[in-house]
Amino acid sequence: MRTDLTRTARLLLVLALSAAGAGAAAGCGSAEAGGTEPAPRSDARAQQVAKAWDGSRAAAQWRAGYHPVAPVVRLPGTGLLRDDADRHAYEIGNFELQGKLPAAPGGNGRVTWPGGASLTMPLMDAGQAYRTLDHADSPGPRLTVTGVRKGEMTVATSRGPATVPAWLFTLKGYAGPLKRAAVNPSRPPAPPIGPLGQDVPADVLAPLGGLTQVAGNGRSLTVVAHHGSCDDGPVVDVLETSGSVVLSAAVTGVDDGPCTTELRGKKVTVRLDEPVGDRIVLDAFTGRPVPYTDGAGAAPAGG
């Protein structure tokens, strides 16, 4: 269905939908954040966000936590499923369980980093882990789980690679297990700056959809940026400081003519002057760390 929308109405729709998604991923504002900020230019806003976070208590809390920047699910062997049917079953979450899952273990597990740093976190039980995989009820092809056991896996995090407790699911027809991390990410700290309001035009600044990849050398980031059906797509600018990488997304080439109201996501790769290291990747619009989004499926094999 096509709807005649003015440029302003269309951009507000994009912002409203994007901000709703960002809020669901990162949570609501807090008293510490000071509520909604006015609408500055994108470069000034990025500087404000960097200044608020660099050296803040929130930044220290973030660096002390467990924040994955890669998938927490690893497929068997080389990380490639054997055919299109199995790949489709995995993508939509169509699994079948043969037998029983282990009883809930209770207690905590330890996340460890090279050098000896560690963090004690609550363990999810096998049922919880299985339900993150099996969330469809389709009559089509399924991946069959024939056994589950405790184990470990390596997950890329904002602090570098971490060894985390995992549930290892045996899949029918595969020699190695599917691994699923048995701990959830740490709760994000209350941000030291508030989000922008939804009256900011999307060709000035818009919220990001999420972080999908950090390059192995840390010199580039891939994020999901939103745009509409009557524009030239999104662009993402970067401001680098010693403590943060602030990303500013916007929509370019907006057309004032008739347009559908759909919201599209596009992956955009941002090159950095220096490796990201332990710097916090921030969204200029929300004023919050950009949440990881598992948009690409499983992680490479290993761990």
pLDDT digits (tens, 9 = 90+) for 9-64: 344 433 343 433 333 333 333 223 333 443 445 689 999 999 999 999 999 999 99
Same domain, 146 and 228: no
Q: Give the domain-ending residue among 155, 181, 207.
A: 181
Least confident of 28-42, 69-83, 161-175: 28-42
Quote the pLDDT of residue 252. 78
- Give 295 or 128, the one with higher predicted confidence: 128
Question: 163 and 139 in one domain?
Answer: yes
Give domain status of residue 302, yes or no: no
Q: What is the mean pLDDT of residues 158-176?
A: 95
What DSSP string runs through the chain?
A: --B---HHHHHHHHHHHHHHHHHHHH----TTTTS-B----HHHHHHHHHHHHTT-HHHHHHHTS--BSS-SEE-STTS--SSHHHHHHHHHT-EEE-S-PPPP--SEEEEE-TTS-EEEEEPPPHHHHHHHH-----SS--EEEEEEEEEEEEEEEBTEEEEEEEEEEEETT-SSPEEEESSPPPPPPPPSSPPBPTTS-TTT-B-EEEEEEE-TTSSEEEEEEEE-SSSSEEEEEEEE-SSEEEEEEEEES---S-B----EEEEEEEE-SS--TTPEEEETTTTEEPPB---S-SBPS--
Shared domain check, 283 and 204: yes
Virtual torsion, Cα 243, 68, 277, 112, nearest 10 deg: 110
Rounded to an integer, the average pLDDT of 253-281 is: 79
Say what the pLDDT of residue 198 is.
72
- Whether 107 and 47 map to the same domain: the answer is no
pLDDT of residue 33: 33
Reported as a single tens digit per residue, the pLDDT across 130-146 is 999 999 888 889 999 99
Q: Which of 134, 150, 181 is the last residue of a domain?
A: 181
Same domain, 107 and 156: yes
The enclosing domain of 135 has a CATH number of 2.40.128
Q: Report the mean per-residue pLDDT for the chain.
A: 81
Residues 140 and 207 occupy one common structural domain:
no
Which of 44-48, 211-215, 254-258 shows the lowest mean pLDDT across its residues? 254-258
pLDDT band at 104, cuts 50/70/90?
confident
Domain count, the chain: 2
On whether both 92 and 135 belong to a single domain, the answer is yes
- Decide which of 229 and 73 is more confident: 73
Q: Which residue has the higher pLDDT, 7 or 241?
A: 241
**Same-domain pairing of 147 and 227:** no
Domain identity same for 163 and 201: no
The two tokens of residue 50 are 């960097």
| pLDDT on residue 27 | 31
With respect to residue 229, please indicate whether it lies within any of the assigned structural domains: yes
Residue 243 lies in a domain: yes
Report if residue 298 sits inside a domain: no
Domain of 30 in residue numbering reads as 7-65+188-289
pTM of the model: 0.77
pLDDT confidence bin for 97, thresholds 50/70/90? very high
Residues 242, 267 within the same domain? yes
Task: Indicate whether 77 and 59 sit together in one domain.
Answer: no
Pick from 148, 181, 214: which residue ends a domain? 181
Within this chain, do residues 192 and 60 fall inside the same structural domain, yes or no?
A: yes
Query: pLDDT tens digits, residue range 269-296?
Result: 999 999 999 999 999 999 999 999 875 3
